[in-house]
Structure 1
Amino acid sequence: MAPRMLLSMPLHAITEVYGEAGLRQRFGLELESFPEPEREQLTEALDLAAALHAGDRRVREPYLNHLLRVAIRIIRYYEIRDVDVLTAALLHDAVEDHPAELAGVTGDLPYPELTEAALAELARRFNPRVSELVASVTNPEYDPRRDRHEQYREHVAESLERDPWARIIKISDFTDNGVGVIHTTLEKATRSAAKYRPLVPKLRELIGRPDTPLGTAAKEHILDQLDLAEERFAAILDD
């Protein structure tokens, strides 16, 4: 593949044509302008994410593709170069999906204690801010008596209210899942649309706030992406 051509390709196009190798190469190209210590931290975060999610898949692709797209989108389209935010973006599902492996715990622990142990390991490996950012986008243990999707939306709204930097990670994650909803099976697309569609107005409001640390161009880009996601949700659910 022509390396520089990757810089002009949409992320899902890279995924379709070149797969994980193409996304890794694109991420490497994005990192070239970062100073060496920051590149080292982000490379360590990518290696950890790759190890933790090695056996995970998202229907047709390795799970790592999603994490790479989330991080690349933040650099390229949101113009964010905060290394802690990018580290947390690469690891935003690590605590939720692989807390025992991350924490190095072999015995059974209640979910809250396991989560805390995993977050403590992120603070040790990187720094407390990375751990706090991941905590803000990690789902809690749900009440089995209540609707899971409703609890998810409540958690997202509450956590993003108090953590403006976490909004950047969540909106990139949401964009990958929402705008990218057409890149999966109809069954999964229908589930995802039902889960995410009611969250769009809240995300739109949060992105528009003055304390959300994004430039005007990035906010406009995100709002356009939310409109596109809403169109796709409607096409799936209202057909």
Structure 2
Amino acid sequence: MEFPAYLATMPMHAITEIHGEPGLRARFRLEIEAFDETARGRLTAAEELAAALHRDDRRVREPYLNHLLRVAIRMMHHYQVREVDVIVAGLLHDAVEDHPAELAGLRRCPTGAPAAADRTDAAEPTGAALAVLADRFGPRVARLVGAVTNPVYDPGRDRHVQYREHVAASLDREPWARVIKVSDFTDNGVGVIHTTGPKVARSAAKYRPLVPVFRDLIARPDTPLSAPVKRHIFAQLDLAEERFSAILDQPN
């Protein structure tokens, strides 16, 4: 498929609307040209694994892979991230949460059959899935994915409150995980206007209280981003907050 020469500078949601998943995958390939051959191989392997795991998943109007590609592209293009482990973790940030059993089942012995020690008990899929990521991409990738993977929530408490508590606690000790999560948050928050139906208000109610949490996390000296990138993120958080308010503060 032919894509315009200016694909490398198009806004990601414009690529999504006009060219869909093929366009985002092409843009991803353009972005990883800045890396060496070994890094490109790891990034391509992570993209292919994400595509396989999420092949049947959708986000309202689009394949779920689009979201994962935008998270990774945003980190490379807008955040100037060159840490391959971080981008790999960005591509796979929902893999353990959404497909732990499938991911855990990918660890195999040389015969091709699942290794006896790797057959996952339904109660412990997350640890086995993270172990597969550690085997394939290294322990740092697994640690970063673990930091942005939601825990099992207490059904007796508000899920949104527990989500905010988890984000604040897990990102407090993982500076690079903050970078992944804020790209994810930007795609969900600023991109809320690209969502339709009841999910719009639900997403706005879930994410608006997180804006000050992310402001604090990104502003910290140990968050490994340049000052211009941090200013860009703050502007995106401002825009997300404006959109959440427009959705939630409408007069009855």
Following TM superposition, by how much is the alpha carbon of 1:2 offset from its aligned partner in structure 2, in angstroms? 3.6
Deviations along 1:203-235, whole A, 9 cap, x unmatched? 001101110000011100000000000000000
Contact 2:193-2:243 within 8 A present in 1 as well: yes
Q: 1:109 matched to which residue of 2?
A: 122
Matches within 5 A, 1:182-221: 182-221=193-232
Q: Secondary structure at the match of 1:193?
A: helix
Q: Which of 130, 142, 159 is the aligned partner of 2:153?
A: 142
**C-alpha RMSD over aligned residues:** 1.0
| Matching of residue 61 in structure 1 with residue 74 in structure 2 | no
Tell me the TM-score normalized by structure 1.
0.97
Residue identity opposite 1:109 in structure 2: A
Deviations along 1:52-75, whole A, 9 cap, x unmatched? 000000000000000000000000
Deviations along 1:68-88, whole A, 9 cap, x unmatched? 000000000000010000000
Contact 1:100-1:106 within 8 A present in 2 as well: no
| Matching of residue 24 in structure 1 with residue 37 in structure 2 | no
Following TM superposition, by how much is the alpha carbon of 1:114 offset from its aligned partner in structure 2, in angstroms? 1.0
Number of residues of Structure 1 aligned to a counterpart in Structure 2: 237
* In 2: Cα distance, 1:101 partner to 1:206 partner: 32
1:193 and 1:149, CA in 2 relative to 1: closer, same or farther beyond 3 A? same
Q: Secondary structure at the match of 2:41?
A: helix
* In 2: Cα distance, 1:2 partner to 1:141 partner: 42
Q: Which moved more, 1:139-148 or 1:1-10?
A: 1-10
Identity percentage of aligned residues: 69
Tell me the TM-score normalized by structure 2.
0.92
Matches within 5 A, 1:165-180: 165-180=176-191
* In 2: Cα distance, 1:178 partner to 1:94 partner: 20
Contact 1:3-1:26 within 8 A present in 2 as well: no
Following TM superposition, by how much is the alpha carbon of 1:108 offset from its aligned partner in structure 2, in angstroms? 4.5
* In 2: Cα distance, 1:217 partner to 1:68 partner: 23
Residue identity opposite 1:124 in structure 2: D
Unaligned runs of 5+ in 2: 106-117
Q: Which moved more, 1:98-107 or 1:39-48?
A: 98-107
* In 1: Cα distance, 2:5 partner to 2:121 partner: 48
Q: 1:13 matched to which residue of 2?
A: 14
Residue identity opposite 2:148 in structure 1: V
Deviations along 1:153-208, whole A, 9 cap, x unmatched? 10000001000000000000000000000001141110000000001001001101
Deviations along 1:29-73, whole A, 9 cap, x unmatched? 001121000000000000000000000000000000000000000
* In 2: Cα distance, 1:150 partner to 1:225 partner: 23
| Matching of residue 153 in structure 1 with residue 154 in structure 2 | no
Residue identity opposite 2:94 in structure 1: D
Q: Could you say which structure has the larger radius of gyration?
A: 2
Structure 1's consecutive aligned runs of 4 or more residues displaced over 6 angstroms after TM superposition are none
* In 1: Cα distance, 2:159 partner to 2:185 partner: 17
* In 2: Cα distance, 1:138 partner to 1:4 partner: 36
Contact 2:71-2:91 within 8 A present in 1 as well: yes
